[in-house]
Structure 1
């Protein structure tokens, strides 16, 4: 079966008088005398294509007048100028073929606004709605923009493993991958007889493996699914999510921050240019003022604060926080949002966090108390990017790994990178779903990923 013309191309490119053939799903049918007005959508854009079906059609009485929301159709007809407000063209149908019926008594997506919570319960149908369809298009555009940006910046893409034996964050929140039955996990080394001969899990980050290629190819990035077995059932957490992780050799913290800021601005600019119609929907119905906020992010420089300066700002804040603020504790989402929404009124890059609250691989500063780390905070989200200059000094890294209780033999390959041609290098991680949240204004992270995986829930 040949592919039909997309609705987005019909609305933007096809001249009046063209004969078109289009597939799609019926949003609504409205009857007026001897005419049926059909609103057709195929997911290629937010706008529907209006089809005029006249009673002269062979199946007008038997099928057209029985059509309901959700039916799939193939329409052939002539593109004509539309007298209706809000649309330039419409199709005068010469044939309307019903591909698949949708029972109006049981089809859950009727012509009304549904809550996002309800739509999560029908993950297999929610992409057909305006908001979730728009999220999918924005997500796709941002994904492409990421690859385009790093290609233009001279990065090489590396596919890091989904199954790994390295816990990058050292938090022990990995899903275990095993072929053993529970009764087979016995002895001092219960995974010795397992598929890989040792304990393996789903990756929490591709960073450590990306460092291998950064130290041979200079600039690399990895972009793929990551997993956290964190029993957190909130609007900010997922068990499966996508991470973008660039790594750069011969790079310090300053270069890392500059690259991350440039990237965010480029991705926001791409969304504003390529997803204008969808962002207008979010601006109107989901997050008022969204487009103005994104435009400011694109056009204004980010504000820089050290962790110590940030704590001072928070300590003098004229508001109460649910989590107390003091030097040495990690910033919470409420603190991060306050810094960028109330203090700076712009994205904030916080640097030089206490070494005790950051992973072993971050470079120790000269004061011995902080590390060359940075987080980029944005309004509505909090932390969007987290990164650091990596510890390139063998002795310092080995000491920090030992203090963290890591198996030095298991991570011997990581230490080798510091033994053989070590160089200063840096990188960062961006949670892709948080980026999509930021660009769309959606409040719950479960609504910006096609199939959310959370504690107790894995639909489809």
Structure 2
């Protein structure tokens, strides 16, 4: 100790709310809770790399700036160097992006998946792990505008193999953190979530349930629960539905597969029924969805048709279509929301409290 702290030092010797600590994100790593959170964050990131490196996956650094939308949802941050006070226009009155830095519309990436797939066809198994961005005005404990995603691509893998890898990985990284961050995990179990160890032990010691979306809808309809969002075939499952399935019905993690094609991304492989795609979400007790994945559409004609039907521009995906035109193989992959996984492992209930400097709507202070 060199000297006494100033009297206006924000971290006084008392309990501070997480809401207050978010306003001093530059100081909160000095508190017991956030010291533990960010140490576990580091260990969890290492565990993910260790799992895939031991399986000889090739780590690919995919670009943050992109000219295409990997999800087709349109919720992207636009990147431009144009003079906003004197925006150039085309003869039709549209913004003339040809005068922009890249000569076309550019955005921050929502996913590294499409780029990772290009390496999958060469190296067989690859993964990317980095920041992604969504311009969603979702002011919820689960959403942030900037977050980290881990996305592997597995050649010659169908949806079953995909789920096998997901389950093995989740159990591996949870066990690794519990073994290598014992003091921090004891802290979380004592002060943050007294059922944390029980929940994590169920996860690592149980076989994850596997059901179809259609079966999930039937379970929800027969549950007699008064859900805020009505349950009908074709809806996108809400957090309340996901948590009921994982927490109340199965009481353990559950895979939900074969979603309606209209609520999923264009690159997911169409099933024989023509109505559903080979998609999978992993739902976990306490949080809901933590992994989303699919078998990818490897048929060129079907993929092109899906791009058109979803109103996307074919010219933005010419290189992605080339992967099917020039020697494609059946392959699958998934995305793990790293920050949500950290929430699950630590028992923290707000994504703003597991990211060093959270980026959310109307919040860009640090």
If the length of structure 1 is used for normalisation, what is the TM-score?
A: 0.78
Q: Does 1:322 align with 2:228?
A: yes
8 Å contact kept, 1:123–1:459: no
Corresponding residue number in structure 2 for 1:114: 16
8 Å contact kept, 1:245–1:430: yes
Q: Distance between the aligned counterparts of 2:316 and 2:68, measured in 1?
A: 8
1:145 to 33, 42, 47: 47
CA drift of 1:407 comes to 1.2
CA drift of 1:318 comes to 2.7
Q: Does 1:289 align with 2:191?
A: no
Q: Does 1:438 align with 2:344?
A: yes
Flag the structure with more relative contact order, 1 or 2, with Cα contacts below 8 A and sequence separation at least 6.
Answer: 2
Q: Secondary structure of 1:268's partner?
A: helix
2:137 to 222, 231, 235: 231
Q: Distance between the aligned counterparts of 1:247 and 1:445, measured in 2?
A: 26
Corresponding residue number in structure 1 for 2:70: 168
Q: Does 1:279 align with 2:185?
A: yes
| Higher helix residue share | 2
Q: Distance between the aligned counterparts of 2:5 and 2:146, measured in 1?
A: 32
1:205 to 111, 118, 129: 111
Q: Distance between the aligned counterparts of 1:243 and 1:330, measured in 2?
A: 21
Q: Distance between the aligned counterparts of 1:264 and 1:322, measured in 2?
A: 30
CA drift of 1:147 comes to 0.5
CA drift of 1:319 comes to 1.7
Deviations along 1:87-132, whole A, 9 cap, x unmatched?
A: xxxxxxxxxxx1x6521x1011122111100100111111111111
Q: Distance between the aligned counterparts of 2:57 and 2:127, measured in 1?
A: 7
Q: Distance between the aligned counterparts of 2:113 and 2:41, measured in 1?
A: 23
Corresponding residue number in structure 1 for 2:275: 369
CA drift of 1:459 comes to 2.1
2:257 to 312, 332, 351: 351
- The number of residues matched between the two structures is 362
Corresponding residue number in structure 1 for 2:154: 248
8 Å contact kept, 1:179–1:194: yes
1:155 to 57, 60, 64: 57
1:412 to 297, 302, 318: 318
1:126 to 13, 25, 28: 28
CA drift of 1:184 comes to 2.2
Q: Distance between the aligned counterparts of 2:361 and 2:294, measured in 1?
A: 30
Q: Distance between the aligned counterparts of 1:190 and 1:101, measured in 2?
A: 58
Corresponding residue number in structure 1 for 2:214: 308
Deviations along 1:39-92, whole A, 9 cap, x unmatched?
A: xxxxxxxxxxxxxxxxxxxxxxxxxxxxxxxxxx3xxxxxxxxxxxxxxxxxxx
8 Å contact kept, 2:60–2:126: yes
CA drift of 1:189 comes to 5.1
Corresponding residue number in structure 2 for 1:102: 5
| Higher strand residue share | 1
Q: Secondary structure of 2:174's partner?
A: helix
Q: Distance between the aligned counterparts of 1:101 and 1:143, measured in 2?
A: 36
Q: Secondary structure of 1:456's partner?
A: coil
Which one has a bigger Cα radius of gyration? 1
Q: Secondary structure of 1:325's partner?
A: coil
Q: Distance between the aligned counterparts of 1:281 and 1:329, measured in 2?
A: 39
- Which 4+ residue blocks in structure 1 deviate beyond 2 angstroms? none
